[in-house]
Amino acid sequence: MKGIKLKVKQKLRTPAEITREGFAVLCDKLGMADAIRFVQFFDQGHGDYTAERAKLFEGETIASLVDQMRQMKKKETRRV
């Protein structure tokens, strides 16, 4: 087949069309739940978690966080 050039005309799809068709193929092959999990593997999220975490836990220690969790657990136990 050396020297043979094939010309294939293919309509370029929009990103939305590719996304919709690709997700449909994943759902067919993996099922809805696993298709969603697969897509989540590639979600990079947004923001700067390191900076957000430093601000969120500023001034906290492991001991203080554990104490807060224990207090929350006691409150939940009283409600039941």
CA atoms within 13 A on the CB side of 21: 6
Please give the single-letter amino acid code of residue 34: D
Query: Of all helices (H) and strands (E), which one includes residue 78?
Result: helix 62-79
Q: What's the pLDDT score for residue 23?
A: 95
pLDDT of residue 34: 95
Per-residue pLDDT of the chain (80 residues; tens, 9 = 90+): 567 776 677 789 999 999 999 999 999 999 999 999 999 888 777 888 899 999 999 999 999 999 999 999 988 888 76
pLDDT score, position 20: 95
pLDDT score recorded for residue 1 = 55
